[in-house]
Amino acid sequence: MCGIYGATKASKFEVLDTVNKVRGNFASGIYYYNGNEYDYQKTEGSFDWNKIELPKGFTFLGHNQAPTSNERQWKEHNCHPFVYDNWVVAHNGVLTNFSQLKNDYIPDHANLVDSSIIPALLVHFEKTFDEANTKEKELNLISYVLELLEGTFGLWIVNLKTMNIYLARQGSTLFFDKNSFSSAKGKGYKELKEGVIYKFNRRGVIPVEKFKVKSPFLEL
C-alpha cells in the first residue's frame, strides 16, 4: 500500500505527507513546480521536514511507498515518482497486467516495478497522438493509456512540456478538497470519481475527461 498526495501550500503538503506515511514508509518522493521551474527528489524512508525548506509559491506532489513485491531494497530508479522523458507519474495500487503491457508494447522495459510502465507507455504512444494534432491530444493520450491498465490505481501525472497536473483513479482511494488531494481521507474531503481525469492546479480539482474503467471493485 502506498499514498499519493498534493497541495498548493507547503504547510498543508507536510501535513498530508505525515498522514500518508502510515500507508508506506519504505521510500518517499516529491515533485514541485511554480509554472516555470520544477524539481523532484526521492529518498529512502521519509523526508525530514526539519532539514528541508520547501520553496514558496510552488505546488507540491508527493508519494509515500511501501516495498513492492519485486523490489525489496531501496534504489532510486525503483522509487516514485517515475520519470520518462517529459512524463512524471506516481502511483498507488497494483497493476495486474504489467507483464502483458511490457510484452505487448515495450519488451525492453527494464524496470521491475509495475508503476514504471505508466510513464513509459505515455512516451511510447505520445508520437501517435502528437501526429493527430488535435486540441485534446494530451488528454486523449492519457485516457488511452489509462484504459490499457488493469488492476487498481490512484495517480498523479505531470507533463513537463505543458506543466499540467492530472489525477485519476480506478479502485484505489483518492480524495480532494479545494487545494489538495490525498489517498488518505481528510476532514471535508470528497472522493474523486472513478473513470474521470481531473486537472489539479491553484484553481482546484477540475474534471476534464473520462476513461473506461476496469475496476475490480465495480458492482454487478
pLDDT of residue 44: 84
For 120, half-sphere exposure in the C-beta direction (CA atoms, 13 angstrom radius) is: 19
Q: What is the pLDDT of residue 72?
A: 60
User: Which pLDDT belongs to residue 119?
Assistant: 98
pLDDT of residue 141: 97
Mean pLDDT, rounded, for 104-124? 96
pLDDT in tens, 39-77: 998 888 888 888 778 888 899 999 998 766 565 676 767
Mean pLDDT, rounded, for 104-109: 96
Q: Is the pLDDT of residue 146 over 90?
A: yes
Type of residue found at 20: N
**Residue for cell digits 480524495?**
175
pLDDT the model gives residue 194:
97
Q: What pLDDT is stored for residue 149 in this prediction?
A: 97
User: By residue range, what is the domain housing residue 136?
Assistant: 3-210
Across 80-85, average pLDDT: 93
**Predicted local distance difference test score (pLDDT) of residue 17:** 92
Buried b / exposed e over 114-137, threshold 16 CB at 10 Å, is bbbbbbbbbebbbeebeeeeeeee
CATH number assigned to the domain comprising residue 11: 3.60.20.10
Over the stretch 128-138, which tens digit does the pLDDT of each residue have?
A: 888 877 778 99
Query: 117-132 and 98-105 are packed helices; what angle lies between their axes, rounded to 10 degrees?
Result: 40
Residue type for 34, please? N
Residue type, 1: M
pLDDT score of 219: 43
Q: Does residue 17 lie in a domain region?
A: yes
φ/ψ bin of 95: left (φ > 0), alpha (ψ from -120 to 50), beta (otherwise): beta
pLDDT (tens digit, 9 = 90+) per residue, 153-208? 999 999 999 999 999 999 999 999 999 999 999 999 999 999 999 999 999 999 99
Kindly report each contact of residues 215-218 with a partner whose C-beta sits within 8 Å and lies 24 or more positions away, as own/partner.
215/152, 215/170, 215/171, 216/151, 216/152, 216/171, 217/152, 217/171
For residue 17, give every residue at least 6 positions away whose Cβ sits within 8 Å of its Cβ, in sequence order, or none.
5, 28, 46, 47, 49, 62, 64
Scan for cell 505527507, then name that residue.
17
CA dist., res. 31 & res. 153, Å (int): 19
Query: Which of these, 115, 105, 217, 118, lies nearest to 170 by C-alpha position?
Result: 217
CA dihedral 82, 44, 41, 154 (to 10 degrees): 40
pTM tops 0.75, yes or no: yes
- Answer whether residue 220 shows pLDDT above 80: no
Does residue 75 sit within a domain?
yes
- Per-residue pLDDT at 118 exceeds 70: yes
Per-residue cell: 27: 521510500
Residue 56 resides in a domain = yes
Whether 101 is covered by a domain: the verdict is yes
Domain presence at residue 21: yes
pLDDT at 182: 97
Mean of the per-residue pLDDT values for the chain? 90
Q: What is the dihedral of CA 19, 24, 28, 29, to 10 degrees?
A: -80
Looking at the structure of the chain, the number of domains it has is: 1
Task: Answer whether residue 65 is part of any domain.
Answer: yes
In a domain, 216, yes or no: no
Is 95 among the domain residues?
yes
